[in-house]
Structure 1
Amino acid sequence: MFSKGFFSFILLVGFVLNSSEAISQRKVKESSKMEISTPLMTNPKLVVGIVVDQMRYDYLTRFWNHYGDDGFKRLVNEGFNCKNNHFNYAPTSTGPGHASVYTGATPSVHGVIGNNWYDKEIDKMVYCASDESYETVGMVSEAGKMSPHRMTVTTITDQLRLHTQMKGKVIAVALKDRGAVLPGGHTANAAYWFLGGGEGKWISSTYYMENLPEWVVKFNSSNAVQKYKRPWNTIENINSYVESGPDNNNYEGLYSGESAPVFPHNLPDLWEKNSQYEILKVSPFGNSITTDFALEALKGEQLGTDEITDFLAISYSSTDYVGHWFGVNSKEIQDTYIRLDRDLERIFKYLDTKVGKGEYTVFLTADHGAINVPAYLEDQKIPAGYLNKSEMQSNLAEFIKYRYGSTDLIKNYSNNQLFLDHKVIQNLDLSLQEVQETLANELLSSDDMAMVYTAYQMRNNEYTTGIPYIIQNGYNMKRSGDVLMVPKPANIDYSKTGSTHGSAQIYDTHTPLLFYGKGIKPGATTLKTEIPDIAPTLAALLGIAFPNGTTGKPITAVLE
Structure 2
Amino acid sequence: MKNVLFLIIAFVFITSCSTLSRKRDQPTPLNPLEAVQDSPKLVVGIVVDQMRYDYLSRFYHRYSEDGFKRLMKGGFQLTNNHYNFVPTYTAPGHASIYTGTSPMNHGIIGNNWYDKFEDKVIYNAGDDQVIGVGTTSDEGRMSPRRMLTTTITDQLELQTQGRAKVIGISIKDRGAILPAGHAADAAYWFEGSDQGNFISSSFYMDQLPQWVTDFNALKKAEEYLKTWNTLYPIETYTASGSDLNDFEKAPKGKQAAVFPYDLNKLKAENGNYSLIKATPYGNSIVADFAIEALKKEEMGKDSIADFLAVSFSSTDYIGHQYGVNSIEIEDTYLRLDQDIARFLKALDEEVGKGNYTVFLTADHGAVNNPAYLQSRNINAGYFDRSDFRNKLNNALIEKYGFDDLISNISNDQIFFNKVNLIKNTINPIDLEHFIASTIIDYTSIDKVYTRKALVSGAMQDGIGTLIQNGFHHKRSGDVIYVLEPAVISYSKTGSTHGSSQSYDTHVPLLFYGNGINQGSSSKRTEIIDIAPTISSLLKISFPNAATGNPISEVLIKS
**Counterpart check, 1:144 vs 2:140:** yes
Whole-angstrom CA distance in 2 between matches of 1:137 and 1:425 = 44
Picking from 95, 101, 117, the partner of 2:97 is: 101
Q: Is the Cα contact below 8 Å between 1:50 and 1:316 reproduced in 2? A: yes
**Counterpart check, 1:115 vs 2:111:** yes
C-alpha distance after superposition, 1:89-125 (max 9, x if no partner): 0110000000000000100000000000000111111
Picking from 462, 469, 472, the partner of 1:466 is: 462
**Counterpart check, 1:421 vs 2:426:** no
Whole-angstrom CA distance in 2 between matches of 1:551 and 1:69 = 35
| Structure 1 counterpart of 2:224 | 228
Whole-angstrom CA distance in 1 between matches of 2:220 and 2:425 = 64
Whole-angstrom CA distance in 2 between matches of 1:312 and 1:335 = 26
Whole-angstrom CA distance in 2 between matches of 1:122 and 1:353 = 50
Letter in 1 for 2:97: V
| Structure 2 counterpart of 1:388 | 384
Whole-angstrom CA distance in 1 between matches of 2:285 and 2:396 = 51
Letter in 2 for 1:115: N
Normalising by structure 1, what TM-score? 0.92
Normalising by structure 2, what TM-score? 0.92
Picking from 422, 429, 434, the partner of 1:433 is: 429
After superposition, where does 1:254-293 map in structure 2 within 5 Å?
254-293=250-289
After superposition, where does 1:465-484 map in structure 2 within 5 Å?
465-484=461-480
Letter in 2 for 1:60: L
**Counterpart check, 1:74 vs 2:81:** no
CA displacement at 1:40 relative to structure 2: 7.2
Corresponding residue SS for 1:477: coil
| Structure 1 counterpart of 2:504 | 508
Bigger drift between 461-470 and 265-274 goes to: 461-470
CA displacement at 1:424 relative to structure 2: 2.2
After superposition, where does 1:182-331 map in structure 2 within 5 Å?
182-331=178-327
Letter in 2 for 1:532: I
Bigger drift between 314-323 and 457-466 goes to: 457-466
**Counterpart check, 1:457 vs 2:448:** no
CA displacement at 1:259 relative to structure 2: 1.0
Q: Is the Cα contact below 8 Å between 1:41 and 1:540 reproduced in 2? A: no
Q: Is the Cα contact below 8 Å between 1:45 and 1:306 reproduced in 2? A: yes
After superposition, where does 1:127-138 map in structure 2 within 5 Å?
127-138=123-134
**Counterpart check, 1:537 vs 2:529:** no
| Structure 2 counterpart of 1:34 | none
Structure 2 gap segments, 5+ residues each: 1-34
Corresponding residue SS for 1:436: helix
Residues 41 and 306 of structure 1: CA distance in aligned 2, closer, same or farther (over 3 Å): closer
CA displacement at 1:41 relative to structure 2: 8.3
Letter in 1 for 2:157: R
Corresponding residue SS for 2:139: coil
| Structure 1 counterpart of 2:357 | 361
| Structure 1 counterpart of 2:492 | 496
CA displacement at 1:427 relative to structure 2: 3.0
Number of residue pairs aligned between Structure 1 and Structure 2: 522
Whole-angstrom CA distance in 2 between matches of 1:224 and 1:163 = 37
Letter in 2 for 1:57: Y
Q: Is the Cα contact below 8 Å between 1:96 and 1:115 reproduced in 2? A: yes
Picking from 43, 52, 59, the partner of 1:56 is: 52
Q: Percent of aligned pairs with the same residue? A: 53
Q: Is the Cα contact below 8 Å between 1:104 and 1:535 reproduced in 2? A: yes
Bigger drift between 402-411 and 119-128 goes to: 402-411
Whole-angstrom CA distance in 1 between matches of 2:304 and 2:180 = 17
After superposition, where does 1:441-452 map in structure 2 within 5 Å?
441-452=437-448
Letter in 2 for 1:467: I
Whole-angstrom CA distance in 2 between matches of 1:283 and 1:74 = 24
| Structure 1 counterpart of 2:21 | none
Q: Is the Cα contact below 8 Å between 1:88 and 1:530 reproduced in 2? A: yes
Bigger drift between 221-230 and 60-69 goes to: 221-230
**Counterpart check, 1:350 vs 2:346:** yes
| Structure 2 counterpart of 1:411 | 407
**Counterpart check, 1:165 vs 2:161:** yes
**Counterpart check, 1:175 vs 2:171:** yes
Residues 464 and 550 of structure 1: CA distance in aligned 2, closer, same or farther (over 3 Å): farther
| Structure 1 counterpart of 2:30 | none
Whole-angstrom CA distance in 1 between matches of 2:37 and 2:100 = 19
CA displacement at 1:396 relative to structure 2: 0.4
Corresponding residue SS for 2:229: coil
Whole-angstrom CA distance in 2 between matches of 1:290 and 1:446 = 44
Whole-angstrom CA distance in 2 between matches of 1:491 and 1:542 = 42
Residues 183 and 417 of structure 1: CA distance in aligned 2, closer, same or farther (over 3 Å): same
CA displacement at 1:260 relative to structure 2: 1.2
Corresponding residue SS for 2:199: strand
Letter in 2 for 1:128: N
Q: Is the Cα contact below 8 Å between 1:41 and 1:542 reproduced in 2? A: no
CA displacement at 1:229 relative to structure 2: 1.3
Whole-angstrom CA distance in 1 between matches of 2:195 and 2:354 = 39
C-alpha distance after superposition, 1:44-64 (max 9, x if no partner): 010000000000000000000
Residues 510 and 492 of structure 1: CA distance in aligned 2, closer, same or farther (over 3 Å): same
C-alpha distance after superposition, 1:277-326 (max 9, x if no partner): 11111000000000000001101111011110000000000000000000
Letter in 2 for 1:361: T
| Structure 1 counterpart of 2:333 | 337
Picking from 522, 527, 542, the partner of 1:546 is: 542
| Structure 1 counterpart of 2:22 | none
Letter in 2 for 1:552: G
Whole-angstrom CA distance in 2 between matches of 1:269 and 1:117 = 36
Whole-angstrom CA distance in 1 between matches of 2:178 and 2:495 = 24
Corresponding residue SS for 1:271: helix
Whole-angstrom CA distance in 2 between matches of 1:145 and 1:132 = 6
Letter in 2 for 1:353: E
| Structure 2 counterpart of 1:17 | none
Corresponding residue SS for 1:516: strand
Whole-angstrom CA distance in 2 between matches of 1:233 and 1:125 = 39
Q: Is the Cα contact below 8 Å between 1:41 and 1:541 reproduced in 2? A: no
C-alpha distance after superposition, 1:299-358 (max 9, x if no partner): 111101111000000000000000000001000000000000000000111111110101
Whole-angstrom CA distance in 1 between matches of 2:424 and 2:378 = 46
| Structure 2 counterpart of 1:92 | 88
RMSD: 1.0
**Counterpart check, 1:156 vs 2:120:** no
Q: Is the Cα contact below 8 Å between 2:168 and 2:187 reproduced in 1? A: yes
| Structure 2 counterpart of 1:29 | none
Q: Is the Cα contact below 8 Å between 1:42 and 1:542 reproduced in 2? A: no
CA displacement at 1:401 relative to structure 2: 1.0
Q: Is the Cα contact below 8 Å between 1:104 and 1:552 reproduced in 2? A: yes
